[in-house]
Amino acid sequence: LRESVPRRWRDLVFHCLPNKLRDQLRIHWANSSIDWRNDSVLSLPTDAHGLIRVNLKGRDPGGKVSPGAEYQEVCRKIRQALKNLTDTQTGKPVVHEVFLTDEIFPGPARDFLPDLIVSWRNGKKIDQVASEELGSIGGELPDPRSGNHRSEGFALMYGPGVTKGNNAEGHLLDIAPTVLRFYGHDVPAS
């Protein structure tokens, strides 16, 4: 029913709703395709990013995959299958890297994160991909963006200790420790 109403009209109605209701509807629509009782692996609803969660016993509702060796094997297979995906027109890989969250974001809130994070190669639009493990997959993406945020960016700073005209380089992961140090807090190992 929702899809039969033109997008422009849906957007007009949606923006008239209170924020709390809009958030609840977004969560409902994003999660409505997840079958926690039957799916072992889930593609998390995101804005064109590759975030994958393994439906882990003891962590997720209706967990299907056992922690330990089975979990590690599932992650290994997914990682390898994604890294083997190629653009059928160019033969080039479409995935730059598949990161295991346990390796790059360990810490006390780790279970709130996906298990695998896909970093797509930036480039031209891809209509079809293929691999030995997954076969051929094609279709029209609703969004023309690649799914990656770019690593380049900038931050404007003002205040005591900030040197005028300083073009210091850093990494996105430097922001949280910098803010913590600024306010006199220790930076946790995680």
Q: Taking 60 as the threshold, does the pLDDT of residue 181 lie above it? A: yes
Q: Which long-range contacts link 11-20 to residues 24+ away (Cβ below 8 Å)?
A: none
Q: What is the mean pLDDT of the chain?
A: 83
Q: Taking 80 as the threshold, does the pLDDT of residue 175 lie above it? A: yes
Pairing assessment for the beta strands 41-43 and 50-54 based on DSSP bridges = antiparallel
3-state secondary structure of 70: helix
Structure tokens at 69: 């060796």
Q: What is the C-alpha separation between 182 and 188, in angstroms, rounded? A: 14
Cβ atoms 151, 141 nearer than 8 A: no
Cβ atoms 44, 54 nearer than 8 A: no
What pLDDT digit, counting tens, does each position of 11-66 carry? 888 788 888 888 787 777 766 667 777 888 888 766 656 899 999 999 988 899 99
What pLDDT digit, counting tens, does each position of 124-148 carry? 778 888 998 888 988 776 555 555 5
